[in-house]
Structure 1
Amino acid sequence: MKLCRAEYKTIAKFTDQLKPTRQSLKLLKERFPHHSQSTLLSIFSLEYQKRTKRSISKHHDPDVIESYYQRYLNEAKTRPSSPILLEMANEVDLSPSLLARVVVERFLQDQEDGVFSKQVVSSMLREPTLIPDVHLARQVEQCTVNDCCYGPLVDCIKHAIGHEHEVLLRDKLRERNLSFLDENQLRAKGYDKTPDIILEVPIAVEGHVVHWIESKASFGDDQSHRTYLNEQFWSYWNRFGPGLVIYWYGFIAELDCQRDRGILLKDCFPSDIVTLCHGAGPS
């Protein structure tokens, strides 16, 4: 789904008032019923991450961390069955998973020698039963399950969705009998930084030659697309020639402005593929 920049900004502005919880997704879908839930979630996630980057430093101030931790300890005594960390996260406008990480790190400072690694904390967030405090483990699990923008559950879902769309792309290419090399095959050949697909025989899409295809299971907004251009797409163009980027959950329509320079944007697998070998017609 392609959105004009004005429409994107309307959705983005609405997300400013939302917390990163599952309930917010329902509100978002009710407000914009004609957009898919996947597109809305991707936009919400992008905008919430921008919001978090602007404010995260204040939540890592030592005094603030201590206030969060002491509040948790006090309320855990008086309201042991309440979702304390989840409520706190909503109140201070911080991702539940990020607040859980802050509290777990502070908790570990009081344990034995107080020495721990980021890997230990991450493993506890992935598997809260590793936390040597049953009540805190339950609180962390509540944060992880209810957070729709950050945390190990979100990371796992994003990875699975990304893999699913890469498989879908390969299936679509095979249906068209198009010969290609995928990322794993390219790395086996010694390439270090590659797109998801290199076409062994180029194709034409809407009159533009395509040598490679990149799959993005997300929405393409200004910031993310600019980052991808600088860190990925232009290097692919330099190495392999013009290519196609598929933003499966849509993108801001005005971003599709590099076609003449060799980068084409689509929100689905193209239906009007023309093969370039032996003067063949539409595939």
Structure 2
Amino acid sequence: HALCMVSDATGCGKERQGHMKMKLSRAEYKEIVRWTEQLRPTRQLVSNDIFLPFSPQKRTKRTISRHHAPDVIESHYQRYEKQTQRFILLKSSKTFLLRQLYCVLHRICLFCFIFLSTASKSVLNSMLKEPSLIPDQTLAKNVYQCTVNDCCYGPLVDCIKHAIGHEHEVLLCDKLREKNLSFLDENQLRAKGYDKTPDIILEVPVAVEGHIVHWIESKASFGDDHSHRTYLNEQFWSYWNRFGPGLVIYWYGFIGELDCQRDRGILLKDCFPTDIVVLGRAAQQD
């Protein structure tokens, strides 16, 4: 039923730029999230274009705090110590703890280990990324196993997400070049001394659906209420203050009701716009 909703809401499942277009109502989004929360998370499921916007990560964020309570952490670590000669972190995650969120569990156990040895948080993060740095070889092997098998969290998943984000930034640049639009990318802007910039600054402004656009931000994710509100407060409004009105592309779609800031200078799209008008060229034609 949820998949039928996605297909109906996105124009009979037509694809553009390699993704299914998805601009959903808030009610449709909540229904699909409710349905996908019943599924057992796997890396194949999470990486699928259809299910990526409704990742199990959101469900985990709502419940993860309970696993960081001091008494719960102590219970997890005591269980680990009792079975220290076996690879139990992976088994524990599968059977009773976090439904395959292995990295959450191994971070808890590693935190206990580091805490007992009075090492810093930076050392903890280094060991999560490189388990061979962990002095306890059994724990190191367990952490490595968790990292490899975790489909939602951990260094491996972070690398995948970073790669997907970079891929869409390259796609955006390619589309701009196809349109013969002059722009500066994030690396060029940083070289000029800017500390916090959108992915693209257009050297000549354009109009999209009648709205002026000076900058473009690429988001290889789905724009839900929480993420979009966070981006507005931490990124988009600061871009608007510094560079003027702009465009945000949520390549995996967004909740339609969130596209309500057009008159204030922030336009949302789920694909690269096809009706771009270059203001300088338009003025010359007039």
- TM-score normalised by length of structure 1: 0.83
Shift of 1:188: 2.4
Quick check: 1:101 aligned with 2:107?
Answer: yes
Candidates 44, 48, 71, aligned match of 2:55: 44
Candidates 267, 271, 275, aligned match of 2:274: 271
Q: Percent identity?
A: 70
Quick check: 1:64 aligned with 2:79?
Answer: no
Q: Name the SS for the 1:270 alignment partner.
A: coil
Quick check: 1:117 aligned with 2:120?
Answer: yes
Distance in structure 2 (CA, Å) of the matches to 1:247 and 1:49: 22
* Residue 233 to residue 45, structure 1, CA distance change in 2 (3 Å): farther
In structure 1, what is the equivalent of residue 97 of structure 2?
92
Q: 1:170-189 maps to which residues of 2 (within 5 A)?
A: 170-189=173-192
In structure 1, what is the equivalent of residue 29 of structure 2?
8
Candidates 255, 258, 263, aligned match of 1:255: 258
* Residue 280 to residue 88, structure 1, CA distance change in 2 (3 Å): farther
Structure 2 contact 245–266 (Cα < 8 Å) conserved: yes
Letter in 1 for 2:24: L
Q: 1:64-213 maps to which residues of 2 (within 5 A)?
A: 64-77=72-85, 80=86, 82=87, 84-90=88-94, 91-93=96-98, 95-110=101-116, 114-213=117-216
Q: Which digits, 9 at most, give the CA deviation of each residue in 1:66-108, with x for residues without a partner?
A: 211121222344xx2x5x2123234223731121011112223
Count of residue correspondences: 262
Distance in structure 1 (CA, Å) of the matches to 2:176 and 2:187: 16
Letter in 2 for 1:4: S
Distance in structure 1 (CA, Å) of the matches to 2:58 and 2:68: 21
Distance in structure 2 (CA, Å) of the matches to 1:74 and 1:105: 17
Shift of 1:46: 4.9
Structure 1 contact 2–267 (Cα < 8 Å) conserved: yes
Q: Which digits, 9 at most, give the CA deviation of each residue in 1:200-220, with x for residues without a partner?
A: 111111222111100111110
Structure 1 contact 205–274 (Cα < 8 Å) conserved: yes
- Structure 2 unmatched runs, 5+: 1-21
Letter in 2 for 1:65: I
What do you get for the CA RMSD once the two structures are aligned?
2.4
Structure 1 contact 39–218 (Cα < 8 Å) conserved: no
Q: Which digits, 9 at most, give the CA deviation of each residue in 1:247-274, with x for residues without a partner?
A: 1111111211222221111111112212
In structure 2, what is the equivalent of residue 29 of structure 1?
none
Letter in 2 for 1:129: S
Q: Which digits, 9 at most, give the CA deviation of each residue in 1:5-46, with x for residues without a partner?
A: 1221122223444555437x27xxxxxxxxx82352242155
Distance in structure 2 (CA, Å) of the matches to 1:11 and 1:125: 33
Structure 1 contact 197–214 (Cα < 8 Å) conserved: yes
Letter in 1 for 2:23: K
Shift of 1:49: 4.7
Q: Name the SS for the 2:139 alignment partner.
A: helix
Q: Name the SS for the 1:185 alignment partner.
A: helix
Letter in 2 for 1:245: V
